[in-house]
Structure 1
Amino acid sequence: MRLFPPTVLTALLVVPLLAAPAAAAPPDPRVRLADVGAVREADVALAPGTTSLETDPYAMVAATWADGDPVVEVRTSPGGDWEVLPGLADGPTPGEGEGRAGLTATELVWVGRTQDLDVRVTGEAQDLELVLIDPGSDGPAAAAPASRRTARTAEAEADAAPRPTLRTRKDWGADPRWRNGRPHYNKRLKQVHVHHTATGNGYRRSDVPGIIRGMYRYHTHDLGWFDIGYNFLVDRFGRAWVGRSGGPSRLVRGAHTLGFNKTSVGIAVIGTFEERTPRKDARRTVARLAAWKLDKHGRDATGRVWVRSTGSDKYADGERVRLPVVDGHRDTNDTACPGQKLYDRLPGIRRVAQARIDRFGA
């Protein structure tokens, strides 16, 4: 469902005065976001060129289209720097009923709460729409510690790395009504794919539940995925959050690594790491998550493994490729994810994860 097709948007932007028809006020130029539960959202039709918008408050922005290869840039202040919305390389496994056929999209970028937006589109695209989301900045766990049930680190299973502290879907305010279908489960675990969300780095602790809610809304409503694509998310403060539903201890199939979801788990660090190195706490949490999942399935975090693609933009359907057990998204898809600075830290993350496996498996 699109909230604001052009005909509806035109109607919404006309606000009459409480007076006689002849004294009607001029159209209100603001783009109005509609309430959809815990977030607010608007979809705005775009054309090539530069457009200046005044909107209701929003904090996240993306673009979707049906055909073409446009470059979409945004800026939130006149005279500020233009930022290209990066292309989305995540995706569900083909043939499983997730996603909208023929839809192309960008990442959902966090810009901070604002009301102004300039958009510049280069190139042609069919059904090009701008997605604006206000996810709210507070949630059940915005400032509070994780619930008692999850704050306690789980006791180690016999000869296994323990589960790290996890904040639940309830902690970030997931609305189960937004899901499209039911989870699928994998039969085996061969890899952990590390991502960044490309949503930006200038967020506060209290912003994190809203950022995850915004991604959840975008993935389910705008992209048509079953649920948020990532199995787990790690914020820049080192806190781990459960992403996709279905049970964090189970092998839930995500929509994080197109072509390689059937034998993997996806962990996304919230931020953009092309030029900024993620904090040590965040890297350590990624390593702990990887150790917990891999140790249960007898995998060496520093090793390599043969995997078969189900079809990505880098490896054809059926192609076998030998990849690191803990790899970066760019190893499987044509993308900059997880950002060069995080990618450069993957060898250290692998060593820390394997040291944790060796410690608890001894």
Structure 2
Amino acid sequence: MRPFLATCLGAACTAALALPLAPVFAASAGGARPVAQAPAAGPGTASARDLPGATQSLPLQGLAPTARRGPVQDTAPPQAQAVRELPPRTVRPFSLVGVVWDDAAVPFRGRAQIRTRARGSGLWSGWQDIQTDSDDAPDLGAGEGRGAAARGSTAPLWVGASDAVQLRLTPADPHRAPSVLPHGLRLELVDPGPETPAVRGGGPPGTPEAASSAANAPLAPAGATEIPAADQAATQADVSVAGGPAGAAVHIGARPRIVTRAGWGADERLRENRFVYTHAVRAVFVHHSATGNNYTCAQAPSVIRGLYRYHVRSSHWRDIGYNFLIDKCGTIYEGRAGGVAKAVLGAHTLGFNNGSTGIALLGSFGKAAPSRPAVQALGRLAAWKLGLSGTDPRARTPMISTGGNLYRKGLTVQQHVISGHRDGFKTECPGTLLYADLPAVRQAAARFQGR
């Protein structure tokens, strides 16, 4: 999800334990911007201290440039560069990292690299690049700020359980280092909680948990951790759930099994309470999460909880940006709350979030190919979701841009019904190798619909 142009389950962390490396600036430390607290728990819900996960936010604005000469132990050119560096810091455990700054309209022009220390073994990783241009984004004026302006942000990177971090920032023009880095830079370290968190179910009436679960009625009972698969005949009834005429026969793929937000352990108190809907879904935009491929299928729920917390707490979005996510084993997950059969407004393709749904495959597919189970699951999910509005996956559909870096606001664009992110925004997303699979995905989805 990289443009060619420059885009706490629980309470905030306190100061880190005093350990041999330099101490961390925690959210409550002097000079650090506090991480907003979740709303107070409703009747019968878990208290903040019962909910797993946290976000540490380290200020980076005051880092002094450090002159480096010679090779920098990575692919950087062997020449003098003005580098701003956060020295190795021992921190509280985390698994996902990203960098944010104050103004989403200001690009990060340069390179961000991270290395981390594995919790348990104490081994340091090599330097890894963080994708500095994150292009998943809400539409302008969509009100994603939850009362605060949306922040600029890099793509997050999944690094696995870690307890120390080192960061290197290299401006695109090292001679102008003080002026080219955005204001308010912060390193966000996200702990998604345990790999298998306790399932809290639907919650009592009136709670965010209950509302999220109820949005999927009657596809699954309250508190369900998954929406079961249904054959093609039974799936015809889903059309009325999506708002279509009851009893209307359409070409629709069999409903695949979908893990609900309760199933992947979403803390519903993090997101904004309201659900926002768009027009009937007539297009799918395919993404990769750009979080890397170093995760196991058992860790996929943790990766999703990390993305959720990063989108909401760090980037100031209403909820996780994607409508659905798919892991390398082909498991499908509910993303943004509001009901999997409904036209929930996402924050995934700036300019074309209206009338579309965003499906992200967990991973990075610029150089690595997506797994066969993941691509097959993409076709089955698209066949079902597009079938709810009677849409042919092989077709094109007119969409009006709300403004982006590829199409101006108000321009009508004939988009593929199944498009890659790069079809609506100037970006590398969903990665060259996943994008190359989309023609076959369109054909497979049409077959699943019986066309």
| Shorter-normalised TM range | 0.7 to 0.9
- Name the CA distance, whole Å, in 2 between partners of 1:73 and 1:148: 37
Secondary structure of the residue aligned to 1:125 is coil
1:69 match: 108
Alignment RMSD, CA only? Answer: 2.8
Q: 1:193 to 1:65 in 2, by over 3 A?
A: same
Aligned pair partner of 1:129 in 181, 186, 191: 186
| Structure 1 contact 192–266 (Cα < 8 Å) conserved | yes
Give, in angstroms, the shift of residue 193 of structure 1. 0.3
* Pairing 1:45–2:59 present: yes
- Name the CA distance, whole Å, in 2 between partners of 1:110 and 1:260: 27
Q: 1:334 to 1:68 in 2, by over 3 A?
A: closer
Q: 1:148 to 1:102 in 2, by over 3 A?
A: closer
* Pairing 1:57–2:86 present: no
Q: 1:26 to 1:187 in 2, by over 3 A?
A: closer
1:285 match: 377
- Name the CA distance, whole Å, in 2 between partners of 1:277 and 1:149: 28
Q: 1:224 to 1:320 in 2, by over 3 A?
A: same
Give, in angstroms, the shift of residue 102 of structure 1. 6.3
| Structure 2 contact 328–371 (Cα < 8 Å) conserved | yes
Instruction: Tell me the alpha carbon deviations over residues 4-40 of structure 1, each in whole angstroms, 9 at most, x when there is no partner.
Output: 7xxxx8xx3686xxxxxxxxx9996246689873212
Q: Which amino acid aligns with 1:264?
A: S
State the identity as a percent.
Answer: 36
1:304 match: 396
Aligned pair partner of 1:92 in 138, 143, 163: 138
Report the TM-score when normalising by structure 1.
0.86
* Alignment gaps of 5+ in structure 1: 16-24
Instruction: Tell me the alpha carbon deviations over residues 179-206 of structure 1, each in whole angstroms, 9 at most, x when there is no partner.
Output: 1241211222221000010111121122
Q: 1:134 to 1:180 in 2, by over 3 A?
A: same
Give, in angstroms, the shift of residue 111 of structure 1. 0.9
- Name the CA distance, whole Å, in 1 between partners of 2:443 and 2:131: 33
Q: Which moved more, 1:242-251 or 1:220-229?
A: 220-229
Q: Which amino acid aligns with 2:235?
A: A
Matches within 5 A, 1:1-362: 3=12, 12=15, 29-30=23-24, 37-46=51-60, 47=63, 49-51=84-86, 52-66=88-102, 67=106, 69-70=108-109, 71-76=111-116, 80-99=126-145, 100-101=148-149, 103-123=151-171, 124-139=181-196, 150-153=227-230, 155-157=234-236, 158-159=249-250, 160-358=252-450
| Structure 1 contact 14–27 (Cα < 8 Å) conserved | no
Alignment size in residue pairs: 341
- Name the CA distance, whole Å, in 2 between partners of 1:283 and 1:149: 20
